[in-house]
Amino acid sequence: MSLDERAIRLINDNMVRKHHASKTAPAVALGIIEKPWTLVDVVTMKEAFLKRMEEEEFERAFASQFASKSGVDYEC
């Protein structure tokens, strides 16, 4: 099982799936989140995370290429 698969399983087990005894997700029962997440919520968050990582990678590559030509460090 890959790290992504384990992370999705952990999120599903604790934030999406309702426990039979408490009738709600464990994270809700512990007060970590207000209501159980849906699988749509999980997929949307993962897509947003991957998009942000891709944008940051592009910005780093662009900044390093630009900085190497000008000799100026544009990192924040």
pLDDT value of residue 69: 59
Domain limits, the chain? 1-36, 38-76
Q: For the segment 21-72, what is each residue's pLDDT rounded down to a tens digit?
A: 999 999 999 999 999 999 999 999 989 999 999 999 998 888 887 765 555 5
Q: How far apart are CA 50 and CA 5, in angstroms?
A: 15
Beta-carbon-side half-sphere exposure of residue 30 (alpha carbons within 13 Å): 8
Note whether 25 and 16 are within 8 A (CB): yes
Q: How far apart are CA 61 and CA 55, in angstroms?
A: 10
pLDDT value of residue 68: 59
Q: How far apart are CA 43 and CA 8, in angstroms?
A: 9
For 1, the token pair is 């099982």
pTM: 0.64
